[in-house]
Structure 1
């Protein structure tokens, strides 16, 4: 099961000391820790709760199916932030954007 980020202190560290990259309407904030499994948070940016929740569900599913098996033992904290257009974009395109971001994380690491 995926571990999620919940503590305010962890978010503060990611946003202050971590790095930020973007691809399309998707952004990723990440921070490399010393040890431990990957921890992830998904954020939807929209004025409507239905849209925010749909964005988070789609981001979570894309990561869970395609990238979690690869990243589960890596010591990273990830915060994925998706804009409103993520709610209606085709799923393979969303997976591709996420893959591009995670590929850049490997380079920057």
Structure 2
């Protein structure tokens, strides 16, 4: 609960304004990943094919694949956050409208107190 006593204080405008940032960063990270892959491919195997180069590649190669895989997961995750925040904002608006419509049908007789007394 916040200081105002509100349990849930969702600001739809903030959700809608922030959600695209995640999409933007997802795209930027995907571009960086593509640049990394292209750069590494263009570099080939600059460490050479001698024993020391082979040992280096044996330790280095799998790490590159892990980094690329983990980065792809982040790209997908950031895009998913964008979609989830947009859906949350839309769902909250729909819920607010539903609650408003439910309570707007309640008629309080003239002269009666709204607390039921």
Q: Which structure: greater helix fraction?
A: 2
Q: Which structure: greater strand fraction?
A: 1
Instruction: Specify if TM > 0.5.
Output: no
Structure with higher Rg: it is 2
TM-score class normalised by the smaller sequence: under 0.3
TM-score (norm 1): 0.27
TM-score (norm 2): 0.25
